[in-house]
Structure 1
Amino acid sequence: MTSYRALHDGWAVTGGDVDSVAATVPGCVHTDLLTAGLIDDPYLDENEKELAWIGHTDWVYETVFQHAGGDGRTDLVCAGLDTVATVILNGVELGRTANMHRGYRFDVRDVLREGENQLRVRFGSAYAYAQAQRARLGGRPNAYPEPFNFIRKMACNFGWDWGPTLVTAGIWQPIGLQSWSVARLAEVRPQVTVADGAGLVEVRVRLERETPGPVTLAATAAGRRVAARTEGDEAVLSLTVEDPRLWWPRGYGDQPRYDLDVTLAGPDDEPLDSWTRKVGFRSVRLDTTPDGGGSAFTLHVNDVPVFVRGVNWIPDDVFANRVTRDRLAARFAQAVDANVNYLRVWGGGRYESEDFYDLADSLGLMVGQDFLFACAAYPEEEPFATELAAEARENVVRLSSHPSLMMWTGNNENIWGHADWGWVEELGDRSWGAGFYFDVLPRIVAQEDPSRPYWPGSPYSGRDDLHPNDPAYGTTHVWDVWNTDDYLKYREYRPRFVAEFGYQAPPAYATLRRALSDQPLARDSPGMRAHQKATDGDLKLQRGLDAHLPPPRDFDDWHYLTQLNQARALSTGIEHFRSLRPYCMGAIMWQLNDCWPVTSWAAIDGDGRKKPLWYALRRSYAPRLLTVQPRDGVPALVAVNDSAEPWPLSATVSRRTLAGVVEAEVAVGATVAPGSAITLPLPAEVGAAGDPAQELLVATADEHRAWWFFAEDKDVAWPQAKFDATFEAVGPDARVKITAHNILRDLVLQPDRLDPATEADEAVVTLLPGEEATFIIRGGAGLEPTALTTRPVLRCVNDLV
């Protein structure tokens, strides 16, 4: 029977002027140097720029281990080496690698010794390798002045407009010895499909053999077993499960999974190898049927059209070994609590882990996985052609068993870049990646994972005769909003599926204070500048404030207002896109998470704290959404029902003064069918303001509420905030009740300013005169009540007028 022994102990790393220090495997050199006290935390202050030397240095990892010998074959299995590695065992070079995104296996039976063995992995500088490839093949345009497109390594290690430049090296995935004889399961690729009420499991197996002869393969799932005897290196096992329980995206049903066990036995039925996964029965297809408005882009799961309420996902830490299953589970819980149903794994990061996909499977979170190309022209010459094909096949096979995986996408923004960013003139006749996106990758997906759709790029319109970012076709990225235009422009778009759109804000105050020693904190203080990676990011933040909100008087005002503006921007876009259902069938905001403390587009900052945006997402992504949208220049009520049951809507819409006086009111009602949106026009006496700066609309239906303000906050004379606040400790938590004496616009309570371990359960709450809101402060029982209920902890727009 195959056996595996991890080689994770006793490692040391050496490089440059660094003498040997203890190393963690899996891990990377940055975290090893940090643990040894040889570098300062790269996430704090301006330390990042002082550590650039690490990525330009060669490193050597070394360990000594004991081996007892034995019969048969033994392989050294390297699941992930980052990145330009030479593997040496007992002085013998086993091989060289240059791809972080795939594994390698070396036959070491003739090199291993009984007793003590020395294993060394030399890592050359990723910069030196990438720059040499660029010099050999000729430069290619990219979005950042770094050579990330000339090495098969996580692109965002080289910095991004939200990420630090920290170019890692190390043994980042497990490494160990696998011993086996006769044959082993080299590859197991299950295809799980559903048709006519029956589930089909087709298991394709590839064997690696040491000796010829018959072996027996068997597969078991849902109480069914099938076996076959073979003398070849490949086999297919098929079994049918009648009436399986279907796996559904969250909100549409349950997520049952079945154990799939594959075993390999030798000529005398002795066990040789085994493989086990959980699989789910479900079908997925992508509808791109042309229609009068362009062409659809709709995911159907189990033949049900699903509106994608999505978030883009980046690596949750620059240093992959710090992203544990518990950390992923916490982040996924935050996504689920925000009513997210889809994670798009962005192409500048990694093929995500088994823990990532297993958690997504269990929670019903749909996943779209980009192949790893982002914002650059990529060479198609060797060694990249061979490496990319091997990388893609390995990861498609690895992930194909997961029911949460909905689709593969060829790249992030490269087809768009080629069309729009001046690449054609710069490239001349040099390759840029088209052969990968339109030939190599679709062939690999068709061969290895034909049950899932493939789309060549994000964005991509689906037709060569159209602009790749045409909103009426395929997938769209909306980045003129933020880069050049105000967020109200979202309402000018009529997209079929929006795969990226977003707006920036700084992280939580406690996150800033942990990461920055600036005294005082200021928009342009050194640490704040170092943790703003977007070109002209602060100018764009200010432009957004100028369009909507009163001017900030100090840093505390600026922090509150920029976070508030981010929340409003995304709510505006999401609710508009959802109101277009079924014409538009997906919105994937940029981005859920951060990899370090930074001013960015994230809803959850680099310390895992929720920005006000997160609370806005929870409302705007609710399965049932009540929203006021402009239709033909006047406001109308739109109800969106993504739930599985009809929504008997009975709403009251009133036009009121800021003092709460009802100027006009109407009752509207309808039954909103599952998977639909309806628009309810409003009569002129409700929808038209007599004095835009003094009036607003509020629509209420049970627990659902929607607002419409006729004027921007900067043009409204908000009354001075007057309210009563009560504080009550409830076990470890605190309950804060705010009773409004007058209208309070967008209350936000930030208890982390007093204690970094605390968190409010709600934010961005508007109250009419006489209304009340209760905030639960987790861990807040010991907070000082007056500090908790006054500026700068408790904020509303009224404060600034």
Structure 2
Amino acid sequence: MTMIQKLTDGWKLRSCSTGQSFETKVPGTVYGTWLEQGAMKDPYWRDCEEAALAMMAGDYEYEISLSPDEALMGCRDIRLRFEGIDTLADIFFNGVYLGHADNMHRIWEYPVKSLMGETNKLKVHLYSPLSFIRKAYEKTPYDGAPEAMQGFPLLRKSHCSFGWDWGPRLPDAGLFREVSLIGVNQASICDVHIRQKHSGGIVTLTLNTTVEAAGDVACSCLLRITDPQGMSITYQMEGEKYQFSKAVTIKNPELWWPNGYGKQPLYQAEVMVAADGELQDSWSRKIGLRTMTVNTAADEYGNKFAHEVNGVEIFAMGADYIPEDCIRGRVSRERTKTLLEYCRDCNFNVIRVWGGGYYPDDFFYDLCDEMGLIVWQDFMFACAVYPLTPEFEANTAAEIRDNVRRIRHHACLGLWCGNNEMEMFLADNQWVRKPLQKTEYLIMNERIIPELLRQLDPDTFYWPSSPSSGGDFDHPNDENRGDAHYWEVWHGGVPFTDYRKYYFRYLSEFGFQSFPSVKTIEQFTEPEDRNIFSYVMEKHQRNAGANGKILQ
């Protein structure tokens, strides 16, 4: 059986600039550790953000001495797996350089069996993101949202951590997801793809499984499907060597519905691989039986844009989801569950994961499955132009593969979207220094990404940008086609009654900023700061002139 040893305790985190170090846990981050140790002030308090930002001008090192479990040492193959590194890192195992990480949205994995001893030292050197984007921008100036720091599009890191028109500049660093040693004996499961076909009240599930073997061994695969009542049926999967498949017919299926349209029953699919008569690895996921697409058919007004679930058009009600906290260690399943329960209880049925943050944890999608919240999933590109070099293309293609494979089985997944607001802004030549940058945009969002999705998830609807009318810079904010972003009431200062002039097919962004409650303001101000035009209140307002807009 595959052995997993999580490297959670026993880490030390050191500032390479000051030499200050603390014992810490992983997952974790620099800000999170320094806050826990009382070594920095809360970056949300008054103007403490500036001191926190300055911390990221230096490098940091994570280090751990580890003794592998006895069972792990007996495995034929041992891999070191990082679920999330934020962001630029060199990795060393017993002094041997394993590789360089440069994308927080990817999984990084390295073979270490030949390097493993009874005691081992793992070191991860994190480089300053501020230094990187400054030098990268000087060399290749690619621009984006003006509230963010120059150079942010040149690093595959949560863009809004460099500032946005709603948030601070707090580009934290760390090992923000699990680090593990994974031992493989004979074989392991490296990919499972579940597809559904609905016809005549019957659902056919087809599962395709790819197995990776440590040597030339004969493998077999079993599939177990468990219904919402806990009744299971096990099937022998068909295939040769390391590719297996099985089609399973489910009669009288219990269908998954969005919030307000029905229930959310979930089935469980489990794949087990064996070699030489012994279980080697297993893979288990919850799935919902449903059809899900977006209806863009022509009609008397233009073209529809409506989620269609089990043949029923859904009137979308929801909001955009941005990172819940600039300090990722504060985001937990319990906190996210409370937030999404509020959404469900307010009759939301859609959550749009906005493209300037990061791909949420698995539990986010699990909770959306359970609550009937359709997920509009942006890829992590937003309000910028990007250099489509061979290196950038390879890096982002790996990022897309990792996340599509991780998310595609979820019942809640409603669509993939190429980016946030790039087609709209580039159509007006915003941030465009040369025509090539618009060509790079089209290649990335209208060829590379959809081609990857045709390979990895051909059953989920793809939309090139938000807002868009379907791509190719064809009036991307059209009222009568596709989705729209309407911010004229806020940015343009027109009256609220202006909303009545429009009949948007799908309004994926709109709104008006409010001040937080007094209780919240008290958490980041002194009494003398509590005037909307005080230094501290203006410091916390990242949208130009916005406090005046609210007053007006």
* Letter aligned with residue 121 of structure 1: V
Q: Which residue of 2 aligns with 1:503?
A: 512
Task: Please give the TM-score of this superposition, normalised by the length of structure 2.
Answer: 0.95
Structure 1 length as normaliser, TM-score?
0.66
Which secondary structure state, in structure 2, belongs to the residue aligned with residue 491 of structure 1? helix
- Is 1:215–1:229's contact at 8 Å kept on the other side of the alignment? no
Residues in 2 aligned to 1:411 and 1:210: alpha-carbon distance in whole angstroms: 39
Q: When the two structures are aligned, how many residues end up with a matched partner?
A: 540
Report the residue type matching 1:126 in the other structure.
P
Please list, as runs of the form range in 1=range in 2, the aligned pairs for 1:365-764 lying within 5 A after superposition. Answer: 365-424=373-432, 426-430=433-437, 432-464=440-472, 466-484=474-492, 485-519=494-528, 521-543=530-552
CA distance in 1, matches of 2:221, 2:300: 52
Distance 2:129 2:390 in 1: 17
Which residue number in structure 1 is paired with residue 159 of structure 2?
A: 155
User: Are the structure 2 counterparts of residues 51 and 338 from structure 1 closer, same or farther at C-alpha, using a change threshold of 3 Å?
Assistant: same
- Corresponding residue for residue 343 of structure 1: 351
Match for residue 229 of structure 2? Answer: none
Tell me the secondary structure at the aligned position of residue 82 of structure 1. Answer: coil
Q: Map of 1:89-488 to 2, 5 A cutoff?
A: 89-114=93-118, 116-144=119-147, 145-222=149-226, 223-228=232-237, 230-266=239-275, 268-424=276-432, 426-430=433-437, 432-464=440-472, 466-484=474-492, 485-488=494-497
Counterpart-to-counterpart distance in 1, 2:284 and 2:304: 38
- Deviation of the 1:177 alpha carbon: 0.5
Equivalent-residue separation in structure 1 for 2:400 and 2:267 (angstroms): 26
Tell me if structure 2 keeps the 8 A contact 1:6–1:176.
yes
Does the aligned pair in 2 maintain the 1:199–1:242 contact within 8 Å? Answer: yes
Identity %: 34
Distance in 1 between residues matched to 2:413 and 2:174, nearest whole Å = 29
Deviations 1:264-286 (A, max 9, x none): 000x2210000111111000121
CA distance in 2, matches of 1:362, 1:341: 12
- Asked whether the 8 Å contact 2:323–2:358 carries over to 1, the reply is yes
**How far has the Cα of 1:210 moved from its partner?**
1.1
- Between the aligned partners of 1:433 and 1:213, the Cα distance in structure 2 is 45
1:242-277 C-alpha deviation (Å, 9 max, x unpaired): 1210000111111000111100000x2210000111
- In the superposition, relative to structure 1, how do residues 154 and 520 fare at CA in structure 2: closer, same or farther (>3 Å)? closer
Q: 1:12 corresponds to which residue?
A: 12
Q: Provide the rounded CA distance (Å) in 2 between the counterparts of 1:64 and 1:399.
A: 33
SS at match of 1:40: coil
Residues 190 and 132 of structure 1, relative CA distance in 2, 3 Å threshold = farther
Structure label with greater radius of gyration: 1
The alpha-carbon deviation at position 127 of structure 1 amounts to: 2.2
Quick one: which amino acid aligns to residue 460 of structure 2? R
Note closer, same or farther for the CA distance 1:501–1:448 as it changes in structure 2 (3 Å cut). same
Give the Cα separation in 1 of the matches to 2:40 and 2:417: 38
Deviation string, structure 1 residues 714-764 (Cα, Å, up to 9, x no partner):
xxxxxxxxxxxxxxxxxxxxxxxxxxxxxxxxxxxxxxxxxxxxxxxxxxx
Contact 1:377–1:433 under 8 Å retained in 2? yes
Structure 1 unaligned regions, length at least 5: 544-801
Distance 2:341 2:296 in 1: 32
- Quote the RMSD (CA, aligned, Å): 1.6
CA offset at residue 432 of structure 1?
4.5
1:372 Cα deviation (Å)?
Answer: 0.3
Deviation at 1:443? Answer: 1.4
- Per-residue deviation, 1:27: 1.1
Q: CA deviation at 1:93?
A: 0.8
CA distance in 2, matches of 1:232, 1:536: 64
Contact 1:209 1:233 in 2 (8 A): yes
Distance 2:143 2:440 in 1: 7
TM-aligned CA deviation for residue 523 of structure 1:
0.9
Following TM superposition, by how much is the alpha carbon of 1:529 offset from its aligned partner in structure 2, in angstroms? Answer: 1.2
Q: Distance in 1 between matches of 2:75 and 2:498?
A: 69
Q: For residues 52-63 of structure 1, what are the structure 2 equivalents within 5 Å? A: 52-63=53-64
More off after superposition, 204-213 vs 59-68: 204-213
Counterpart contact for 2:4–2:183, Cα < 8 Å: yes
DSSP 3-state at the match of 2:436: coil
